[in-house]
Chains A and B, each alone.
Chain A
Amino acid sequence: MAETSKVLDVAGVSKRFGDIEVLSDVSFQVDKGETICVLGPSGSGKSTLLRCINWLERPDAGQIYLNGERIGINNAGIVMGDRELSKIRTRIGMVFQHFALWPHLTVLQNLMEAPVQVQKRPKAEVYDEALALLAKVGLSDKRDAFPAKLSGGQKQRVGIARALAMRPDLLLFDEPTSALDPELVGEVLVVMRDLAREGMTMVIVTHEMAFARDAATRVLFLDRGRAVETGSPDRFFSNPETERARQFLQRYAGDTANNKR
Chain B
Amino acid sequence: MIHDFGIVWGERALLLSGLVNTAILSALSAVAALLLGFIVTPALMSKRPAVSGAARLFVDGMRCVPFLLFAYIVYYGFPSFGIRLDNWTSGLAALTIYNAAYMAEILRGAWAVQPREPIEAGIAFGFSDIRLFRRIILPPLLLSAGPVIGNQMIQIIKDSAFLSIIALPELTHAASSIQSRHYVPFAAFITAVFLYWGLCLIIEAGVGSIGRVAEARR
Q: Does chain A touch chain B in the assembled complex, meaning CB atoms less than 8 Å apart?
A: yes
- Seen from chain A, the residues whose Cβ lies within 8 Å of a Cβ on chain B are 54, 56, 82-83, 85-87, 89-90, 92, 94, 96, 98-105, 113-114, 117-119, 146-149, 162, 166
Complex alpha-carbon distance, A109 and B123, angstroms: 17
When distances are taken between beta carbons in the complex, the residues of chain A under 8 Å from B123 are: 56, 86, 89
Which of B121, B128, B217 is close to A82, meaning CB atoms less than 8 Å apart? B128
**B131 contacts partner chain A, Cβ-Cβ < 8 Å:** yes
Interface extent on B, as a size class?
20 to 34
A89 touches B140 (CB 8 A): no
Which of A56, A85, A104 is close to B128, meaning CB atoms less than 8 Å apart? A85
B125 touches A118 (CB 8 A): yes
Complex alpha-carbon distance, A89 and B118, angstroms: 15
Complex alpha-carbon distance, A82 and B218, angstroms: 28
B216 touches A100 (CB 8 A): no
Given A103-B218, A118-B131, A146-B216, is A89 in contact with B136 using a C-beta cutoff of 8 Å? no
Complex alpha-carbon distance, A166 and B127, angstroms: 12
B117 touches A96 (CB 8 A): yes
Render B103-129 as a binary contact track against A, CB cut-off 8 A, 1 for contact. 000000000000101101111111111
A28 to chain B, nearest CB (A): 20
Complex alpha-carbon distance, A18 and B217, angstroms: 37
**B182 contacts partner chain A, Cβ-Cβ < 8 Å:** no
A-B contacts besides A56-B123, A87-B126, A104-B139, 9 pairs, CB < 8 Å: A82-B128, A89-B125, A94-B125, A96-B121, A100-B117, A114-B126, A117-B135, A166-B125, A166-B126
A-B contacts, 26 of them at CB < 8 A, read A54-B124, A56-B123, A82-B128, A82-B129, A83-B128, A86-B126, A87-B126, A89-B124, A94-B121, A94-B124, A96-B120, A98-B115, A100-B115, A101-B118, A102-B118, A102-B122, A102-B136, A102-B140, A104-B140, A118-B127, A119-B126, A148-B216, A148-B217, A148-B218, A162-B125, A166-B125
A127 to chain B, nearest CB (A): 17
When distances are taken between beta carbons in the complex, the residues of chain A under 8 Å from B140 are: 102-104
**B55 contacts partner chain A, Cβ-Cβ < 8 Å:** no
B22 to chain A, nearest CB (A): 32
When distances are taken between beta carbons in the complex, the residues of chain B under 8 Å from A82 are: 128-129
When distances are taken between beta carbons in the complex, the residues of chain A under 8 Å from B128 are: 82-83, 85-86
When distances are taken between beta carbons in the complex, the residues of chain B under 8 Å from A148 are: 216-218
**B19 contacts partner chain A, Cβ-Cβ < 8 Å:** no
Q: Of all chain A residues, which has the CB nearest B122?
A: A102
**B143 contacts partner chain A, Cβ-Cβ < 8 Å:** yes
Q: Of all chain B residues, which has the CB nearest A165?
A: B125
When distances are taken between beta carbons in the complex, the residues of chain A under 8 Å from B115 are: 98, 100
A93 to chain B, nearest CB (A): 8
Q: Of all chain A residues, which has the CB nearest B125?
A: A114
Which of B121, B126, B129, B135 is close to A100, meaning CB atoms less than 8 Å apart? B121
Can you list the 5 inter-chain pairs with the closest CB atoms, starting with the nearest? A90-B126, A100-B117, A100-B121, A82-B128, A114-B125
Complex alpha-carbon distance, A101 and B124, angstroms: 12
B145 to chain A, nearest CB (A): 13
Q: Of all chain B residues, which has the CB nearest A85?
A: B128
Given A83-B129, A86-B126, is A56 in contact with B217 using a C-beta cutoff of 8 Å? no
B217 touches A86 (CB 8 A): no
- The interface centre, meaning the residue of A56, A90, A92, A100 with most chain B CB atoms within 10 A of its CB, is A100
When distances are taken between beta carbons in the complex, the residues of chain A under 8 Å from B120 are: 56, 96, 100
When distances are taken between beta carbons in the complex, the residues of chain A under 8 Å from B135 are: 113, 117
When distances are taken between beta carbons in the complex, the residues of chain A under 8 Å from B124 are: 54, 56, 89, 92, 94
When distances are taken between beta carbons in the complex, the residues of chain A under 8 Å from B117 are: 96, 98-100
A86 touches B127 (CB 8 A): yes
Which of B127, B217, B218 is close to A114, meaning CB atoms less than 8 Å apart? B127
